[in-house]
């Protein structure tokens, strides 16, 4: 059966099932759906996992074990909007564990090379404030951070 809407396909080199299990453990509502395997008529070893369907935060994904030809990069990232610092900390810490990399301004790469932006929801209001001085201070604070700190952003925004 064909699903309606969009499904994001993520290309992995033999780690699709591991990635799906990791992502579904990070997000509370994560779940794994079907798993398909290569057969004798396909270009990889019969029995090897070909695809894994999974869902996180209501978004459908398929992990494809497609081989080493293509790598994930920062040209595509997923934004996680967080209401609290606890949420920022949870997603940041989980997604960089076991070999992920911190990046600037709330960006990170997980251990599979997938890029994420962990963003406090208050940030957009601060950096787009009609008062250019407040917006500038919040933006400069953000540019100096890796994991975004809501208190630090708020303090800069308010000129404290």
Residues 126 and 156 grouped into a single domain: yes
Residues 47 and 110 grouped into a single domain: no
- End position of a domain, from candidates 70, 93, 121: 70
CATH number at residue 44: 3.10.180.10
Edge to edge, the sheet with strand 115-120 lists 77-82, 115-120, 107-109, 101-102
Read off the pTM: 0.92
Q: Which domain holds residue 105?
A: 72-160
- End position of a domain, from candidates 23, 53, 70: 70
Residues 9 and 62 grouped into a single domain: yes
Domain total in the chain: 2
According to the model, what pLDDT value does residue 44 have?
77
- End position of a domain, from candidates 44, 70, 96: 70
Helix or strand or coil: residue 97?
coil
Residue 86 CB contacts under 8 Å (≥ 6 apart), including other chains: none
According to the model, what pLDDT value does residue 3 have?
62
Q: Once rounded to an integer, what is the mean pLDDT over residues 61-74?
A: 94
> What is the spatial distance between Cα 106 and Cα 150, in angstroms, rounded to a whole number?
11
Residues 88 and 50 grouped into a single domain: no
> What is the spatial distance between Cα 70 and Cα 114, in angstroms, rounded to a whole number?
12
Band (5; pLDDT cuts 50, 70, 90) = confident
């Amino acid at each position: 059966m064909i699903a309606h809407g969009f499904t994001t396909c993520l290309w992995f080199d033999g780690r699709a099932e591991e990635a799906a299990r990791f992502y579904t453990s990070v997000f509370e509502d994560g779940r794994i759906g079907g798993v398909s395997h290569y057969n004798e008529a396909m270009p990889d070893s019969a029995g090897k996992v070909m695809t894994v369907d999974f869902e996180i935060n209501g978004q459908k994904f398929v992990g494809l074990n497609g081989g080493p030809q293509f790598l994930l990069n920062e040209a595509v990232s997923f934004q996680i909007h967080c209401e609290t610092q606890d949420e920022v900390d949870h997603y940041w810490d989980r997604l960089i564990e076991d070999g992920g990399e911190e990046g600037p301004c709330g960006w990170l790469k997980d251990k599979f090379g997938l890029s994420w932006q962990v963003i406090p929801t208050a940030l957009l209001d601060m950096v787009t404030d009609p008062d250019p001085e407040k917006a500038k201070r919040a933006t400069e604070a953000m540019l100096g951070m890796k994991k975004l700190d809501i208190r630090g952003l708020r303090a800069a925004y308010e000129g404290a």
